[in-house]
Structure 1
Amino acid sequence: MKEKGLLIVLSGPSGVGKGTVRKALFEQENTQFEYSISITTRPPREGEVDGVDYFFKTREEFERLIKEGKLLEYAEYVGNYYGTPVDYVKETMDAGKDVVLEIEVQGAKQVREKFPDGLFIFLAPPSLEELKNRIVSRGTETEELIINRLEEAKKEIEMMDLYDYVVVNDQVELACERIKAIVKAEHCRRERVAKMYKKMLEGEK
């Protein structure tokens, strides 16, 4: 019997390096995850590609998707919308593949309500000082926006209890290895394996 894929939610405060860790994870040869590309209304950063890093939409297009119920979750963060297309996620999991969502903390809370069986991993900074350094080093934020992001990050760190695991992003490669170890362990969790065998046994009756 084919095991259903896991929904892996990778989340954490702005500036913690979610995108960097996710890219490094998918660049590894033995990675077998599928990445669910998020939709956003924020403008692309330098080097970002539409349909690879995000699907970039206008505010009007995004709000139409909300009305049509086409989003698994969405949130407005620092003036821009972010969301996850629902159909892709369900189809990929049903095919037995693990799906990775790299999303904001607000969005993760919505997914937890709809997919309580998901695997929720909080990517944390080594310290608040290091988080500030990472946001400043982007060179894309104004002083006011940096302050706003740091205040928001403090609130998001306080929401850590919503998650199953916390991975400290001190070094990208180490963070990737920790995430892969967590996923491997989750596939062996008794509750998940027992469900599969229960269906198998019921089919023999």
Structure 2
Amino acid sequence: MIEKGLYMAVVGPAGIGKSTTFDALMSTYGDTVRVTPKVTTRPPREGETDTRAGMPVHEFSRLVGTGDIVMQHQPFGPEGHWYGYMAEDLRAGEGRLNLIEPNVEHQLPEFRRIFGGNALVVALTTRNRQYLEHNLNQRGTESPENIRKRLQAAESIIGMIDQRRSEGMIDAVVELDWDSRDLMVPLMMKIAGKQLSRFAFS
């Protein structure tokens, strides 16, 4: 049973600005917001704080079996790493706005089922492949092969965003490009502020 809280899910391809958005919201709202950490079998990245990385596959599978990991999926196919969320992390968010980054194809339907009206889903998207490629290169943590895979996956993710929006699973879409990138954080601040205002009436 997941306890009541308010959730703001941000979906979009790698390199679109999800982590930048979360960092800005945390910096502005402090303890009022909380990033729900992912758990994954991929190796840890230097400096990351919102992911429990490096979990052995056998341990991940065991925790899925016991119900301690939910919304599990392999975004890069059967040979790729597993991602999911610890149920205890989802239960820990009562009284705050919880930021979460579900996979739009595999995790978003379950996320909607679990949280229903307590959740707001925002998609960050782009039609410019070079925009994403630039952002991924700026990370300095991705190999050329990983960037290629992420750009390939982005095409599927962007198409799935369009589909999920038509299915009513996405509440707002922010489309980004070189001309609009500076508007991303102010727009997301405004959206988060509206979600936070719901606490005043709960």
**TM-score tier (shorter):** 0.7 to 0.9
CA distance in 2 between counterparts of 1:135 and 1:70 reads 32
CA distance in 2 between counterparts of 1:60 and 1:142 reads 26
Superposed counterparts of 1:24-173, under 5 Å? 24-29=24-29, 32-48=32-48, 52-56=49-53, 57-78=55-76, 79-93=80-94, 96-105=95-104, 106-117=106-117, 118-125=119-126, 127-160=128-161, 161=165, 162-169=169-176, 170-171=180-181
What's the C-alpha RMSD, in Å, of the aligned pairs? Answer: 2.6
Q: How many residues align?
A: 183
- 4+ residue runs over 6 A deviation: none
Q: Which runs of 5+ in 1 are unaligned?
A: 197-205
Q: Is the 8 A contact 2:9 2:120 kept in 1?
A: yes
CA distance in 2 between counterparts of 1:20 and 1:186 reads 19
Q: 1:175 aligns with which of 180, 184, 195?
A: 184
Q: Is the 8 A contact 2:120 2:171 kept in 1?
A: yes
Deviations 1:102-135 (A, max 9, x none): 2332322331233232111112247222012222
1:187 CA drift (Å): 5.7
Q: Which of 5-14 and 117-126 deviates more?
A: 117-126
Deviations 1:121-169 (A, max 9, x none): 1122472220122223334434443232212111111122131111245
Deviations 1:8-55 (A, max 9, x none): 11121112121222122212256621221111111122323xxx3311
CA distance in 2 between counterparts of 1:9 and 1:29 reads 16
Question: Cα gap change, 1:145/1:112 in structure 2, threshold over 3 Å: closer, same or farther?
Answer: same
The structure with more radius of gyration: 1
What is aligned with 1:8? 8
Look up the equivalent residue of 1:54 and give its one-letter code.
T
Q: Is the 8 A contact 2:126 2:158 kept in 1?
A: no
Q: Which runs of 5+ in 2 are unaligned?
A: none
Question: Cα gap change, 1:72/1:180 in structure 2, threshold over 3 Å: closer, same or farther?
Answer: farther
Q: TM-score, normalised by structure 1?
A: 0.75
Q: TM-score, normalised by structure 2?
A: 0.76
Look up the equivalent residue of 1:6 and give its one-letter code.
L
CA distance in 2 between counterparts of 1:183 and 1:47 reads 25
